[in-house]
Amino acid sequence: MRYSATALTFTALLALTPLASAVAQVTPSDVRDLVGARGSSGESELASRGYVNVGGQTGDDRKWTYWWNERRGVCLSVATVNGRYDSIITTPAPDCRRPAPDRPGPSRPPAPGYPTTLPGPVGGPVSSGRTEDIRFDRGASSATRRGALKGYETMTYLLEVRAGQAINVSLQSSNRSGYFNVTAPRADQALFNGSISGNRYRGRAVTSGRYKIEVYLMRNAARRNEAMRYTIDVGVSR
């Protein structure tokens, strides 16, 4: 039996439709009525429906907040423009700083050098995961590093710290969507998330080992392939 090119094309599109539907971002029915609502009233309504605000980010013309519903296991991305909810869509659980649902098949460790705590803030594929060990000069207890990133690129600095020592990190970025995370050795989640807490961190190490300091662009800037130049100061003291 012979098929026309049109029929073959239509058949191919039908085959792809389930996949497209599976990854599409949609507005859940229980919050559809909140699109267009004022941000203040929308927040109270989301809370009354079982959603908890877990953070956000600000772009050039809009603000995003992320809301997690523990009972339903749903993460929402809410975009606010001019004080009103412009869109409410589902987004992957890591955007709400929750682990992704288990998938069948053997688990794989992350590739060497690739960040493991960035899906929430970055919210996209990591195109480059460079790493560098920070070693202080003789007699020094701090160091400065400069670099540049673009889009979904990241830079991870590894710092050896002993339990009880204080860690000090500050970042200066040419892009206001540039931040850093700090993650303790063998931890799955960052102990400091710059996109929520700012670009200065001071904390005391609870465990000894190599701490990760990951520099990145937030999703709103990364998806537009924006660039950033940065200077990061890292110090360890008693």
Residue 232 has pLDDT above 70, yes or no: yes
Average pLDDT of the chain, as a whole number: 78
- Whether residue 69 is predicted with pLDDT greater than 80 in this model: the reply is yes
Residue 101's pLDDT is: 58
Cβ proximity of 58 and 196 under 8 Å: no
Binning pLDDT at 50, 70 and 90, where does residue 85 land? very high
pLDDT at 122: 46
pLDDT for the residue 12: 43
| Beta-carbon-side half-sphere exposure of residue 226 (alpha carbons within 13 Å) | 20
Q: Is the pLDDT of residue 123 over 80?
A: no
- What distance in Å separates the CA atoms of residue 158 and residue 161, rounded to the nearest whole number? 10
Q: Is beta strand 153-161 parallel, antiparallel or unpaired with respect to 128-133?
A: parallel
d(CA 130, CA 153): 8
Name which of 65-79, 100-114, 178-192 the model is least confident about: 100-114
Predicted local distance difference test score (pLDDT) of residue 141: 92
- Domain boundary assignment for the chain: 26-96, 119-237
Domain 119-237: assigned CATH number: 2.60.120.380
Whole-structure pTM value: 0.53
pLDDT at 7: 46
**Residue 128: predicted pLDDT:** 59
Burial of 191 (0-12, 13-18, 19+ CB in 10 A): middle
Q: Count CB atoms within 10 A of the CB of residue 105.
A: 6
